[in-house]
Each structure stands twice: as structure tokens, then as C-alpha cells.
């Protein structure tokens, strides 16, 4: 569920006319548009293909309160959604509700594209998952509602683990590395006991946050990179140790085809989005014929002794500031993402947007691992220039330098900090 962050630079042009509207009351925070006769909702094809009945249920709930209300739906693929959104936000023909990837929110919030919302008017808002809550919050205001989430888990081959006498998933990082050491010794240098792409910054930053570090910290309204802090360096050094010890593939790769590589049978473990293991064992990707039923998810233990904090990917719903139906838009969002909606989303294999519902998944063996893993999470710095950091691939460049040995951990982190500091506070 990883979504590409849209740089603030890329949407600057279409924001000129939006800025003048930024002071208007927000849906969920005012009655603007409470008597509107029409509502337009933009969602991605995920909803259209996988849970259309939940969309219909939200429509029915709102239309019951507002007889005669017409609700229009448009569905978009992730690659083209934002280009279409950017174009209409410069006009007065905006949707009233729009789905955003959670890392896409920041650039739009910084530029004033979305209306502020009253979080108290949405179900379970006091229990939203930390990583999702962060994605809809900017300068202490709420500009969106978390929709659903997807976390990261460890996944390994039970047969390979059993071949070295390990029959249950590790509970601690020490147990994990002990098992991987045995696997690596048995399988040899052409095998990756843990296939960990070097440029996978989501995994690397989990090590950083587990060690008490951070990508950047904020003080007095200003952000400053902190990858060179002692805590961050400790996490980066452990990430390098993993790559050096267990990753024997191409150390210039990112994670985009990890599930395909895993399906080739030359690795024993991945730390990845929860869907990747299941996708690897699909007959289209399983080149060994041995993965079906042989892969096992488990909660990734961290070197700190706690569960590894994971990046939570997912979707949010927002109300464009130019919407003439903000109050109704907020009602629809609550009908869709509220208590009944979350149950429907969980039934489709998604993680809910809140800790209360997440706790119920921990009692089901089928969902206990991703639910438990999601309890500890981190999110990107909510800084105005974060989009420029991602666009420049500063973290990926740093990690490749570290993984390939081109630079020391200290030198690569210092260089990354300098690059981040140049843009992170730029709107």
C-alpha cells in the first residue's frame, strides 16, 4: 500500500487560487454545504473492485438523512489520480471527497488544498492509529480522516528454518539473527538468508526509529535532519549489519520487485508489506513450487527488545477547501470510515484506522500478526519540504552508499542530513 508522495513543487501552480479560500470553514467543522443537493466522491479503484458494497452502504446512510441527495462516484487508478486532482483543484469543479495515499497528504495540506475538519465528529478519532493520525495532521489541525491501513511484517520459509532446527518464529531479535546465521551458513554465499533491498528506506528507518533516532526533528517550528544523531547512527549501523550479513543480492536495488525475487527461492526471509509473502507464493511468482503454504508471517522483533516500529501505509479521505458541500462530505466520510465501515474493511483483509478495532484482530490467528505489528509505527516528518526530500531520493542514495560500502555510515548520514536540511523547511 505504499503511495508515492507528491512534491509540494509539483502542485504549487494549481494552488494559487486555493490560497484565497484557505480561511473558509471546513467540512466537519462548520455547516457549510449542509443543504447541498449533490455530492461528488473520488475514490481509487481499490474500493470499486474490492468493497463496492461498503460504498453503497455509506451512500444509503447519508441519503436516508438527506432525501433526494444525489451522490456521484468517480474511480481512479493510483498513477493518474493526482494529475487529475491537481487539474481540477485550480478550478471551481472540485470533488467533495477525495481519497489520498497517506504519504500524499502533506504537500496538499501545506498548500491549503484541503478544508480543516473537526476530528471529534468522526468515529474512533480518539483511537486513530498513530501513523495514520500523523498523516492527516498539519500544524495541529486535522485535514483528513484515516480510511484503512496496511503494515509491514517479517515473513520466512518454514522449510528453510526447519532445516536448521528452527520450528517456530523468533520472538526476539537475538533469536532471529541466531536462526539467520544458521541458515546463511548452511545455504552458502549465493543465498540471502534475509533478502533486504539496500534502498528500502521504509525498512531502514524502522531500524532508526527502533534505536530511538529519527529522520528529522522539529523545534520552534523548524525541522532539522537527525540521521547523524547517535541513536540514528546506531539504527543505521544495524541495518548495514543485516545487509552485510544476510543480503547477497544486488545491493543497488529497491524493494519494488521484492516479492518476485522472494518467489525465486534464493532467500529465506523478507521484512515487507503484509501482502508480499502471499503474492510471492502465487503460482505466477513461485518459481520453486514449494512456497504455497510454506511461508509464515511473524511480528518483526527489533534490536531494542521491543517489536520493530513499522511504517504504516494506507489511505485517507479529505475534503477540498473549494467544496460547496463540506458538511455533507464530512457526513459521508464518517458513514464510510466509521464503525460499521471499518468492520467491512477488516473483513476484506485491511487493517482498521483505529486501535480499538485493531485489538479485535489480535484475537484471530489469521490477522494477529499484522494487527500486532501495526501497534508500533512511525511516519515521515510532517515538514513542509518533505516532498522535496522524497523527490530527491536522499534516503535511498544514503542507504545505497552505506550498503555498497561506498561511504561509511557516519559520512553517508552526514551528507544526507545536509541535503535534507536544504529543503525540509521550504514550502
**321-374 residue pLDDT tens:** 999 999 999 999 999 999 999 999 998 878 999 999 999 998 888 889 999 998
Looking at 280-376, which runs of residues are DSSP E strands?
295-298, 310-311, 313-318
Tens digit of pLDDT for each residue in 246-271?
Answer: 999 999 999 999 999 999 999 999 99
What DSSP string runs through 140-161? TEE--EEEEEE-EEEEEEHHHH
Report the percentage of the chain scoring pLDDT > 70. Answer: 93
C-beta neighbour count of 260 within 10 angstroms = 14
Q: Supply the pLDDT for residue 151.
A: 85
In eight-state DSSP terms, residue 127 is G
Q: Does the pLDDT value for residue 12 go beyond 80?
A: no
CA angle, corner 257, sides to 267 and 370, nearest 5? Answer: 75
Grid coordinates representing 423 are 529543503
Look up residue 65 and give its DSSP letter.
Answer: H
pLDDT 10s digits, 130-167: 888 999 999 899 999 999 998 899 999 999 999 999 99
Instruction: Assign 222 to helix, strand or coil.
Output: strand
In this predicted structure, what is the pLDDT of residue 103?
84
Question: Residue 351 has what DSSP assignment?
Answer: B
Q: 3-state DSSP: the chain helix, strand, coil percent, rounded to 5?
A: 45, 15, 40
CA distance 427 to 422: 12
What is the pLDDT at residue 30? 52
Task: Report residue 208 as a C-alpha cell.
Answer: 532508526
Q: Is the pLDDT of residue 2 over 50?
A: no
pLDDT higher than 60, residue 396: yes
pLDDT at residue 208 is higher than 70: yes
| pLDDT tens digits along 305-318 | 999 999 988 899 99
pTM for this predicted structure = 0.81
For residue 211, the model assigns a pLDDT of 98
Among candidate residues 115, 147, 135, 49, the one with its CA nearest the CA of residue 357: 147
- Cα 221 to chain centroid, rounded: 25
Q: What is the pLDDT of residue 9?
A: 29
CA torsion sign, 375 to 50 to 48 to 83? Answer: positive
For residue 202, what are the CA distances in angstroms to 124, 302, 395? 27, 14, 10
Has residue 299 got a pLDDT over 80? Answer: yes
Angstrom distance (rounded) from CA 351 to CA 370: 8
More confident residue, 265 or 6: 265
The correct answer on CATH 3.40.190.10 for the domain covering 38-150+312-378 is: yes
User: Quick one: cell of 113?
Assistant: 488544498
Q: What pLDDT is stored for residue 31 in this prediction?
A: 67
Q: Which fold has domain 152-310+383-422?
A: D-Maltodextrin-Binding Protein; domain 2 (3.40.190)
Instruction: Note the pLDDT of residue 112.
Output: 94
Average pLDDT, the chain: 90
Tell me the three state secondary structure of residue 313: strand
Q: Is the confidence at residue 8, as pLDDT, over 50? A: no
Per residue in 51-101, pLDDT (tens digit) is 999 999 999 999 999 999 999 999 999 888 888 999 999 998 999 999 999
User: So what's the pLDDT on residue 81?
Assistant: 87
214, pLDDT greater than 90: yes
The neighbouring-strand residues paired with 74 are: 42
Measured CA angle at 309 (ends 303, 315), to 5 deg: 160
The helix/strand/coil state of 149 is strand
Question: How many C-beta atoms lie closer than 10 Å to residue 77's C-beta?
Answer: 9
Looking at the predicted structure, is the pLDDT value of residue 274 above 50? yes
Residues of the chain with CATH 3.40.190.10: 38-150+312-378, 152-310+383-422
Q: How far is CA 22 from CA 18, 254, 298, 323, in A?
A: 7, 38, 45, 12
Burial 337-350 (b: 16+ CB within 10 A, else e): bbeebbebbbeeeb
The C-alpha atoms of residue 195 and residue 202 are separated, in whole angstroms, by 14
Amino acid at each position: 500500500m505504499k503511495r508515492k508522495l507528491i512534491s509540494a513543487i509539483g502542485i504549487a501552480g494549481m494552488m494559487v487560487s486555493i490560497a484565497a479560500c484557505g480561511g473558509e470553514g471546513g467540512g466537519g467543522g462548520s455547516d457549510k454545504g449542509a443543504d447541498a443537493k449533490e455530492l461528488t466522491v473520488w475514490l481509487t479503484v481499490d474500493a470499486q473492485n474490492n468493497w463496492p458494497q461498503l460504498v453503497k452502504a455509506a451512500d444509503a446512510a447519508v441519503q436516508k438523512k438527506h432525501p433526494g441527495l444525489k451522490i456521484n462516484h468517480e474511480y481512479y487508478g493510483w498513477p493518474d489520480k493526482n494529475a487529475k486532482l491537481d487539474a481540477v483543484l485550480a478550478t471551481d469543479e472540485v470533488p467533495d471527497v477525495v481519497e489520498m495515499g497517506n504519504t500524499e497528504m502533506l504537500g496538499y495540506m501545506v498548500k491549503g488544498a484541503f478544508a480543516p475538519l473537526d476530528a471529534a465528529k468522526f468515529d474512533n478519532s480518539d483511537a486513530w492509529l498513530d501513523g495514520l493520525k500523523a498523516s492527516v495532521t498539519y500544524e495541529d489541525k486535522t485535514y483528513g480522516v484515516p480510511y484503512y491501513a496496511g503494515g509491514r511484517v517479517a515473513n520466512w520459509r518454514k522449510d528453510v528454518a526447519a532445516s536448521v532446527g528452527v520450528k517456530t518464529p523468533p520472538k526476539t531479535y537475538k533469536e532471529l539473527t541466531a536462526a539467520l546465521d544458521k541458515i546463511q551458513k548452511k545455504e552458502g554465499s549465493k543465498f540471502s538468508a534475509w533478502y533486504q533491498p539496500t534502498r528500502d528506506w521504509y525498512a531502514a528507518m524502522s531500524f532508526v526509529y527502533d534505536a530511538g533516532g529519527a529522520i528529522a526533528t522539529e523545534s520552534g517550528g523548524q525541522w532539522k535532519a537527525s540521521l547523524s544523531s547517535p541513536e540514528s547512527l546506531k539504527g543505521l549501523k544495524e541495518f548495514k549489519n543485516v545487509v552485510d550479513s544476510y543480503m547477497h543480492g544486488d545491493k543497488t536495488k529497491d524493494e519494488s520487485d521484492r516479492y518476485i525475487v522472494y518467489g525465486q527461492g534464493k532467500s529465506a526471509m523478507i521484512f515487507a508489506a503484509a501482502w508480499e509473502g502471499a503474492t510471492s507464493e502465487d503460482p505466477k511468482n513461485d518459481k520453486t513450487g514449494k512456497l504455497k503454504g510454506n511461508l509464515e508471517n511473524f511480528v518483526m522483533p527489533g534490536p531494542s527488545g521491543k517489536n520493530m516500529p513499522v511504517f504504516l501505509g494506507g489511505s485517507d479521505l479529505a475534503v477540498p477547501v473549494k467544496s460547496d458541500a463540506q458538511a455533507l462530505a464530512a457526513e459521508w466520510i464518517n458513514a464510510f470510515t466509521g464503525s460499521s465501515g471499518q468492520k467491512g474493511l477488516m473483513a476484506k483483509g485491511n487493517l482498521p484506522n483505529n486501535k480499538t478495532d485493531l485489538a479485535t484482530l489480535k484475537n484471530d490467528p489469521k490477522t494477529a500478526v499484522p494487527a500486532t505489528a501495526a501497534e508500533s509505527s512511525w511516519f515521515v516528518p510532517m515538514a513542509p519540504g518533505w516532498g522535496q526530500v522524497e523527490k530527491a531520493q536522499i534516503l535511498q542514495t544514503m542507504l545505497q552508499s552505506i550498503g555498497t560500502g561506498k561511504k561509511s555510515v557516519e559520512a553517508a548520514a552526514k551528507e544526507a542530513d545536509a541535503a535534507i536540511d536544504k529543503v525540509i523547511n521550504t514550502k
